[in-house]
Amino acid sequence: MSVHREEILGDFKLVEYVPFKLTRPSYGVVALPDAGLVGVIAAWHIIKALGLKEVGGIDSYSYLPPAIVVSNKELRMPVRIFAGDDILLIYCEFTLPIHGMAQLSRILLTYFERKGVEYLLLMSGLPIQNRFEVERLRSYYVATSSRASELVKGVEVLPFENGYLVGPYALLIKDAMSFRLDTLMLLTESFLEFPDPEASARNLELLSKVINKPIDVKELLEQAELIRIRARDTMKDVVRNLAQMKKGFEYSPPLQL
Amino acid sequence: MSTHPHYSYEGIEVSEDLDEFLKRMRRVERRIREYIEEGIRKTLEDIREEYYSINTLLNPSWSCEGHLRPLYTIKDVGNAYVIYIDLPKADLNTIDVRFKDNLMIIRARLTEEFTISRWSGRGGEVRFCEYREVINLPIKVDPNKVKVITKGDRIQVIINKE
């Protein structure tokens, strides 16, 4: 593992393997384990579809398990950083405890700011109780600014008007508002406790229109069953962590409606 | 006659100094109680965490013999328990769901054997061919009160409580 630059940020270590720059407008994407592993599944497909290169990694002895990722004989950190021309993507399959997630969120946003990222794009699942019966999945968006809302102009997606968002992405959005980073989150109805590649595919179709890049989801849908099998262990771990974060709140209507 | 102001503690008249002392003792008592409660809560959390970790370690989701354990959840919807089971790549004609007391036994063959290619280690050599799982249910099941619905490769099992 070659190291171009290394930095200690709080309880985390950030390493860049190679120098890189982003063209404008640039997008930051963060994939963390959440409902249905929708974001993580989508992110891995983006990496393959757009040919993103692994440029760095993040580790923490306090908040991440003592683990290393071995990928194509290369040793990689548990939180992986990929980059393309105008996309900087953070990918993590490991769930962090809340305190760790809070710190990581701020570190990621600081890093995005330093790299000149203009928009933060997040994708996740919106768990629904009757996902078993639902065939046609609805998608929603949450935007932190009018500039971010402009990204979905002309895109067939509903605004998420009222409700709760709970979990790692909620932390990211809160911090993104403090950092004044224009953020757009796409949410597609999904299972909470089962990997949901169909929801990921729907999010990717929308993302493709948002960033104006073709992302073909055919292969993702063909591989959906295999993805669901491979993701079982990760999913079990995620469900437990989401329960600790009180993810069940998302099923409740807010009192102020 | 005493010139010290008088206070009442549990109906008993006490002096100001004693009242102040008793208040301090109550504050110390409260802090000790909170400290103990926090300690118990943390210990229980650590025990739960350790139990979960051991459980995960000793109950892997796949076996060298070629079977997989499916993901499932059990939901209590009031008048029934609903169990959802995820069976990707399962041959729907081979799904077998049986009940014995409070156990639900599931087996299903896969549409085709497969290996998780490029996975280093013995796991990458295993040819997976079926799902097997035994689920502990919260109640003893009467198979006549059970409804099994399949939707693609996902199953919904509804067990009425009444």
Q: pLDDT (tens digit, 9 = 90+) per residue, A12-31? A: 999 999 999 999 889 999 99
Average pLDDT over residues A153-175: 94
The pLDDT of residue B119 is 81
Q: Which pLDDT value is given to residue B23?
A: 93
ipTM: 0.83
Nearest chain B residue (CA) to A70? B120
The per-residue pLDDT for A80 is 97
Of the candidates B52, B120, B153, the beta carbon closest to that of A225 is on: B153
- Alpha-carbon distances of B23 from A137, B19, B20, B30, B144, rounded to whole Å: 61, 6, 5, 11, 64
Q: What mean pLDDT is predicted for residues A138-153? A: 96
Q: Residue A224 and residue B120: Cβ atoms within 8 Å?
A: no
Summarised one tens digit per residue, pLDDT across range B146-161 is 999 999 899 999 998 8
Query: What pLDDT does B5 receive?
Result: 58
Q: Do the Cβ atoms of A199 and A231 come closer than 8 Å?
A: no
Cβ contacts (< 8 Å) between B86 and chain A: which residues? 191, 194-195, 228, 232
CB contact under 8 A, A70 and B120: yes
Tell me if A233 and B88 make a contact (CB, 8 A cut-off).
no
> What is the distance in angstroms between the Cα of A194 and the nearest Cα belonging to chain B?
7
Q: Kindly report the pTM of this predicted structure.
A: 0.85
- Across the range A122-127, mean pLDDT stands at 96
What is the Cα gyration radius of chain B?
A: 29
C-alpha span between B35 and B16 (Å, rounded)? 29
* Min distance B138 CA to chain A CA atoms (Å): 19
Stretch A62-74: mean pLDDT, rounded? 92
> Is B88 within 8 Å of A224 when comparing Cβ atoms?
yes
- B84 contact residues in A (CB cutoff 8 A): 132, 193-194
Q: Is the pLDDT of residue B2 over 80?
A: no
Contact between B139 and B161 (Cβ < 8 Å): yes
- Band of the pLDDT at B3, cuts 50, 70, 90? low
CB contact under 8 A, B88 and A235: no
Q: Using CB atoms, pick whichever of B56, B89, B120 lies closest to residue A225.
A: B89
* Lowest pLDDT segment from A90-99, B4-13, B18-27, B121-130: B4-13
Residue A255 lies in a domain: no
Chain B residues with CB-CB distance to A70 below 8 A = 120
Query: Is residue A257 one of the residues assigned to a domain?
Result: no
Per-residue model confidence as pLDDT tens digits over A55-64: 999 999 999 9
Burial per residue of B129-161, b for 16 or more beta-carbon CB atoms within 10 angstroms, e otherwise: ebbbbebebeeebeeeebeeeeeebbbbbebee
- Separation between Cα atoms, residue A95 and residue A63, nearest integer Å: 9
State the Rg of chain A over Cα.
17
The backbone torsions φ and ψ at residue A64, rounded to the nearest 5 degrees and listed phi first, read: -110, 150
User: Which domain range does residue A85 map to?
Assistant: 5-248
Q: What is the pLDDT of residue B6?
A: 61
Residue A29 within a domain: yes
Q: Which residue has the higher pLDDT, A137 or B121?
A: A137
For residue A102, being part of any structural domain is answered with: yes
Q: Choose among B68, B151, B156: nearest Cβ to A229.
A: B68
Q: A256 in a domain, yes or no? A: no
B96-149 pLDDT per residue, tens: 999 999 999 999 999 999 888 788 877 788 899 999 999 999 889 888 889 999
Is A25 within the bounds of a domain?
yes
Q: At what angle do helices A168-178 and A98-115 cross, to 10 degrees?
A: 40
pLDDT at B1: 47
pLDDT above 70 covers what percent of chain A? 99
Q: Tell which wins on pLDDT, B119 or B40.
A: B40
Q: pLDDT tier at A199 (50, 70, 90 boundaries)?
A: very high
Q: What is the CATH number of the domain that holds A95?
A: 3.40.50.10900
Q: Which of A225, A226, A235 lies at the smallest CB-CB distance from B71?
A: A235
3 state SS for A118-184? CEEEEEEEEECCCCCCCCCCCEEEEECCHHHHHCCCCCCCEECCCCCCCCHHHHHHHHHHHCCCEEE
- Rounded Cα distance between A195 and A230, Å, is 9
Q: If you ran DSSP here, which 8-state letter would residue B62 be given?
A: B
Gap from A119 CA to chain B (nearest CA, Å): 35
Nearest by CB: A232 against B61, B120, B156:
B61
With respect to residue A150, please indicate whether it lies within any of the assigned structural domains: yes
How close is the nearest chain A Cα to the Cα of B99, in Å?
22
Domain count, chain A: 1
Among A132, A196, A237, the strongest candidate for a mutation testing the B interface, having the largest count of B CBs within 10 A, is A132
CA distance B140 to chain A (A): 25
Collect all residues of chain A within an 8 Å Cβ-Cβ radius of residue B120: 70
For residue A148, is it within any domain?
yes
Please list, in sequence order, all residues whose beta carbon lies within 8 angstroms of the beta carbon of residue A26, skipping any fewer than 6 positions away.
A86, A87, A88, A115, A116, A117, A118, A119
Give the containing element (helix H, strand E) for B91.
none
Q: How far is B20 from chain A (nearest CA, A)?
A: 40
